[in-house]
Amino acid sequence: MKTQATRWLSFISRRSVTPTETIVLNRHQIFILPTRVGFLFALMLVVMLVSSMNYNNNMGYMLTFLLSSIAIVSTLHTQRNLLGLRVTVGRVKPVFAEETAQFELWLDNRGQDARYNLIWQSRFSQRMGLNCQTNPELTIDIPAEQQINLVIPILSTMRGRLSLGTITVYSCFPIGLFYAWAPIHLDISAIVYPKPVGRKQLPRNKTPQSREGEYSCEGSGEDFIGYRDYQLGDSPRHIDWKAVARGQDWLIKQFGGINATLLWLKWDEVSLLNDVEASLSQLCLWVLIADSQKIQYGLKMPHCTIEPNNGQQHREHCLQTLASYTLP
């Protein structure tokens, strides 16, 4: 059910706020309003007060003022449930498109009393603040004198940089008559790589060995160089039977000679797809295959060239280049 705090968030988030890596909630950042139960409780107090005045009932006066005092004191406890909470950004690992990014936050409650029933909700958009989406709510308790970890999962929809966006934390503790909420703007984002889909066969050069050290793929030799789709007449010895047993496509193992050590992944080889995202996805898949096979590979894009290399750092460099690619 959509809460009143979520409805007010669209108004609060219009203010110009610079995201930071650490935020400590103070009184100016916390807003408080009655809940639906709180409004009904106030209406009940009005009826009790009018009835006590009508019948001049001292016990009715006392009960009305006692309940009113409890409601007023509860506003202080509701606000204090958020006041002084320190939120710090943590790590977030890169993901591929259509995977879930795990945003890590640290909630520091050292030097503070326990906090109960804190509800967290994030609203995010991956491009230019358009088509904002709302994540499911997360409810946690924070023990006194503790620092705990909070992970907010967000499903990525496209490559690029995914920002956490605005987080709203709110609570109706202790008796549910009021809710206090605070919008939080943190400087944290995740890199989203293109989705690795396309042909599993690595690109090959028609010449056995080129002057630039292009990738040679002649099908002979002892070095495993990749897969291609099964074709009628292929030798059963080259079929990847383990993949077939797992229910995957029928693939043929390819082998090359000593010259098959360098691979250039070129934008020109995928530009014929006439779809930028499909081209980037194909290059991304080739990068992963080449990296898993320990091949030295390079990347040639319209705006930059990455020299052949291998290893995790080289892999991340290539994938980040694909994730941040824009049309020239």
Percent of the chain with pLDDT over 70: 80
- Which residue did the predictor score with more confidence, 166 or 42? 42
CA distances for 163 relative to 94, 153, 285, angstroms: 12, 12, 24
- pLDDT number for residue 15: 53
3-state class of 60 per DSSP? helix
Q: Give the count of beta carbons closer than 10 Å to the beta carbon of residue 66.
A: 10
- pLDDT number for residue 261: 59
Helices 276-292 and 312-323: crossing angle, nearest 10°?
Answer: 180
CB neighbour list of residue 233: distance below 8 Å, 6 or more residues apart: none
How far is residue 59 CA from its own chain's centroid? 57
- pLDDT number for residue 48: 95
What is the identity of the amino acid at 235? S
Domains within the chain, CATH numbers bracketed: 4-193 (2.60.40.10), 223-323 (no CATH)
Instruction: Taking residues 277-287, report their average pLDDT.
Output: 94
pLDDT bin (cut points 50, 70, 90) of residue 17 is low
Indicate whether this model's pTM tops 0.95: no
Instruction: Taking residues 86-94, report their average pLDDT.
Output: 94
Give 150-175 pLDDT, tens digit per residue: 999 998 989 999 988 889 999 999 99
CB neighbour list of residue 152: distance below 8 Å, 6 or more residues apart: 102, 103, 105, 120, 122, 135, 138, 164, 167
- pLDDT number for residue 216: 40
What is the identity of the amino acid at 74? S
Most confident stretch, 118-127, 220-229, 319-328: 319-328
- pLDDT number for residue 251: 78
Contact criterion met (CB below 8 Å) for 254 and 293: no
CA distances for 105 relative to 24, 87, 154, 164, 328, angstroms: 13, 7, 13, 11, 36
Give 295-328 pLDDT, tens digit per residue: 889 999 998 999 998 889 999 999 999 999 987 7
Beta bridge partners of 103: 152
3-state class of 66 per DSSP? helix
Mean per-residue pLDDT of the chain: 83
Give 172-208 pLDDT, tens digit per residue: 999 999 999 999 999 999 999 999 999 888 887 433 3
**Residue 182, both tokens:** 């605070």
d(CA 291, CA 285): 10
d(CA 130, CA 135): 15
Residue 272 reports pLDDT greater than 90: no
